[in-house]
Amino acid sequence: MTTQQFDPARPDSAPAPPCRVPLPARGPTGPDGTVRIYGPAYESDPTGVFEQLRADHGAVAPVLVTGDLPGWLVLGYRECLEVLRTPTRFSHDSRHWNQLREGKVPADSPLLPVLGWQPDRMTADGAEHRRLRDAVTESMDRFDRRGVRRHVTRFSHRLIDDFCAAGHAELLGQFSQHLPMMVLTQLLGMPEAYGPRLVHAATELVKASDQTIAANIYIKDQLRRLLERKHSAPGDDLASWLIEHPAGLRDEEILNLLWLVLVAANENTTSLLAGALRMVLTDPRFRATLAGGQMTLSDGVEQVLWDDPPTIVIPARWATSDTEVAGRAIRTGDMLLLGVAAGNIDPAIRPDINAPMYGNRAHLSFSGGPHECPGREVARAIADTAIDTLLLRLPDLRLAVDESELRWRATTWTRHLAALPVRFTPGPPVGEEQPEPVVPERRPLPDPAPEPPAEPAAPGGATAEHSWWRGLLGWFRGD
């Protein structure tokens, strides 16, 4: 079989899309009244659905996922941690899934790319997982923190230079979507020039557009080439450190790990950056507190991770035996979904939802237990350094539309902004003469001046098209 080469500069270079059968429109509940956590009703207001489920069922609620397959959505903070921290009771390995064993999951279910078991993956338990996990964490521990921030500052300036003279920008498309990938390519050991193309390919991939498969082939090709180069000329980068790690990872394992870092980390970090920028621009409490010097930018990013997590539901764990959570009987092989967004605002741990969470990093947004995100410090460094650089360059940055006009996109697993239009006083590019990284922990912000709507927000409401998890499809298919 020959595959057409994806050329990011030529969108028409992708092969024709596979035929897609449109799914019927779905109501908010299944035939027996169980709430669906997919479809338009859920995607337009996932938080509202979570709160209704909590009111009706407490910490653990029965739900339906795509295909009306049953699962338990864990809404309680403590209960989420209980599930995440006891892999002996709740496995990350979907071969335990009773619906799968009973043949109730269709072979073409869009859930399988996300939930299905595959070799060479992080979705294992015990020693199998630990071997890959240790290689990743020990290699990532070798990153020089200052070096990461320096990359973020440099690339932030470069992106800002492209729009600073205009006096307006759309910060999702012109900043947040690009920066994490530019930084990640450096950390992985890729040439700088690859950044923009990979951003384009990763954007196509997570959109599940007609270029998804070609984009995935492109990303995998680049990673394969990277590995070839690093075998013969190792450097100070993640690819080289994974190759030389004593765990003796196979190239295919390293390739899958790098893919996970590049695509999943990029999408989540893009979302965190956009969410934190929105909060800086719209939340008077946030701005006032920051300006008053009580809240650092890092505190602000952490507050966003509490209130507006990039991943709202973590898929998934499966009960290894009959058990119970919060008094709810769970059968062997039942699927549990971790309601991160709901757990983070659980009244049992946050009785006053408006009370700030300064200095508190105990949210669920990076998961917990043996699969806790190993990239959290990198994600935090990208978000707070980028926002600081942006505010330093464009101190009167303000939203260009009314806050109520901002649109969100959600899937079962994620929720994030569709666009972030802003205005500011035009300024000159700084070129290569960029200031050294500045990450002052306390810096006042100007008051947000009310601005008449100038640029429309992206049309449409929530859609399912933006799930980064969908990108896993091509990966599992080995495209």
Closest CA to 392 of 181, 157, 158: 157
Distances (CA, A) of 100 to 69, 137, 279, 472: 10, 32, 41, 19
The SS3 of residue 85 is helix
Q: With contacts defined by CB under 6 A, name the span among 211-219, 226-234, 371-379, 417-425 that binds ligand HEM.
A: 371-379
Q: Is 153 or 211 the residue whose CB approaches ligand HEM more closely? A: 153
172 binds ligand HEM (CB under 6 A): no
Q: Is 155 or 366 the residue whose CB approaches ligand HEM more closely? A: 366
Q: Is 14 or 378 the residue whose CB approaches ligand HEM more closely? A: 378
What CA–CA distance (Å, rounded) separates 233 from 475? 26
374 binds ligand HEM (CB under 6 A): yes
Site residues (CB under 6 A) for ligand HEM, limited to 128-157: 133, 136
What CA–CA distance (Å, rounded) separates 439 from 44? 36
Q: Is 230 or 423 the residue whose CB approaches ligand HEM more closely? A: 230
Q: Is 14 or 132 the residue whose CB approaches ligand HEM more closely? A: 132
Show the binding pattern over residues 305-344: x = contacts ligand HEM (CB under 6 A), - = does not: -----xx--x------------------------------
Q: Is 345 or 378 the residue whose CB approaches ligand HEM more closely? A: 378
Q: With contacts defined by CB under 6 A, name the span among 58-66, 291-299, 370-378, 432-440 that binds ligand HEM.
A: 370-378
Cα dihedral 25, 26, 28, 34 in deg (nearest 10): 170
What CA–CA distance (Å, rounded) separates 85 from 95? 19
Number of residue whose CB is nearest ligand HEM: 375
Q: Cβ distance 273 to 378 under 8 Å? A: no
Closest CA to 156 of 455, 376, 394, 443: 394
Write a three-state SS string for 159-224: HHHHHCCCCEEEHHHHHHCCHHHHHHHHHHCCCCCHHHHHHHHHHHHHHCCCCHHHHHHHHHHHHH
Show the binding pattern over residues 232-271: x = contacts ligand HEM (CB under 6 A), - = does not: ----------------------------xx---x--xx--
Strands 35-36 and 60-65: parallel
Site residues (CB under 6 A) for ligand HEM, limited to 38-67: none
Q: Which residues bind ligand HEM (CB under 6 A)?
A: 122, 133, 136, 260-261, 265, 268-269, 272, 310-311, 314, 365-367, 371, 373-375, 378-379
